[in-house]
Amino acid sequence: MEIRSVAVGEVVFGTGPPVIIAGPCSVEGRDMLREVAAAVRSSGGQMLRGGAFKPRTSPYSFQGLGEEGLRALREVGNEFSLPVVSEVMSVEQIDLLLEYVDMLQIGARNMHNFPLLSAVGRTDRPVLLKRGFMATIEEWLLAAEYVVKEGNESVVLCERGIRTFETWTRNTLDISAVPLARILGGYPVVVDPCHASGRRDLLEPLTMASLAAGADGIMLEVHPDPDKALSDGGQSLGIVEFTELVEKIRGTG
Ligand code: PEP
Ligand code: MN
């Protein structure tokens, strides 16, 4: 099946070179976001990510800055000319997210939230649909159909690892899913090696494997000081490591 191209502003998924989406797991404030965005822009990354509403496993963990985080994401995205993507966790949040983001992210935990999928399908905003960690490829493609069925064809899939018996990685990156979802669904497929592995030391090999498998983009978590990150520091790259990885991806390093 031919891969459909999905445009987010001037960024195109599916037909051009792989798109690099990068940014902190959670927006923690303007200054840290500006530091990361400057690196994304100068290294040749194309989109800025950052969670404002965080689906944390524990209700006692940092839950995100909410609207303040979205406002920071929009302003910093504008400052560095980077389109922005952030997760929408519920139908009630959609209108708020639409005020601030260029692309709506549906998180792994919400891939089966059919009312949410249908509701983002009724918006005009491109959707980044993460694979549920217990979802088969077929279930993932059918989740995408929930969005498309409502009229929104701008869907990009994101493979972010699935839960297996392995415990040394946070999840298991399903490399086969990258070509298969492209072939069977015709959607561009982005890989998130951070949530797939949970380990900073695996991000480079998993990124390279994903690109070799035909990924249309890579989503990376980046933090100015990963060890102090309020979420997912262990799987986030520092600014220097991120810049080096982008150089490798682009073949310029
Ligand atoms: C994220 O990308 O911010 C995230 C929470 O990932 P996932 O939904 O894949 O766990
Ligand atoms: Mn994260």
Reduced 3-state DSSP string for 52-90:
CCCCCCCCCCCCCCCHHHHHHHHHHHHHCCCCEEEECCC
Please say whether the beta carbons of 178 and 159 come within 8 A. Answer: yes
Which regions of the chain does DSSP assign to beta strands (E)?
Answer: 6-8, 11-13, 19-23, 47-49, 84-87, 103-106, 127-130, 155-159, 189-191, 217-221
Query: 103-106 and 6-8: which strand pairing?
Result: unpaired
Average pLDDT, the chain: 97
- How close is the Cα of 116 to the center of ligand 1, in Å? 16
Answer for the pair 161, 169: CB distance below 8 angstroms, yes or no: yes
Could you tell me if the CB of 224 is within 6 A of ligand 1? no
Question: Which residue has its alpha carbon closest to ligand 1 atom 9?
Answer: 108
Tens digit of each residue's pLDDT (9 = 90 or more) over 181-214? 999 999 999 999 999 999 999 999 999 999 999 9
Q: Is 55 in the pocket of ligand 1 (CB under 6 A)?
A: yes
| pLDDT tens-digit series, residues 70-121 | 999 999 999 999 999 999 999 999 999 999 999 999 999 999 999 999 999 9
Q: Is the CB of 131 under 6 A from ligand 1?
A: no
What pLDDT is attached to residue 50? 98
Which residues lie closer than 8 Å to 37 by C-beta, 6 or more apart?
A: 23, 48, 76, 77, 79, 80, 82
- Does residue 189's CB lie within 6 angstroms of at least one atom of ligand 1? no
Residue to substitute in 97, 192, 194, 236 for testing ligand 1 pocket (most ligand atoms within 8 angstroms of CB): 192
* Residue whose CA lies nearest to ligand 1 atom number 6: 107
pTM flag (> 0.75): yes
pLDDT (average), residues 140-156: 98
Cα gap 192→68, rounded to integer Å: 25
Question: Residue range 122-127: average pLDDT?
Answer: 98
CB of 148 closer than 8 Å to CB of 155: yes
Distance 2 CA to ligand 2 centre (A): 31
pLDDT at 1: 79
CA dist., res. 1 & res. 169, Å (int): 32
**Tens-place pLDDT, residues 12-57:** 999 999 999 999 999 999 999 999 999 999 999 999 999 999 999 9
Task: Verify whether ligand 1 is closer than 6 Å to residue 229 (CB atom).
Answer: no
- Burial class of residue 1 (count of CB atoms within 10 Å of its CB; 0-12, 13-18, 19+): exposed
Residue 252 pLDDT greater than 70, yes or no: no
Contact 195, 235 (CB under 8 A): yes
Which tokens go with 2? 């031919």
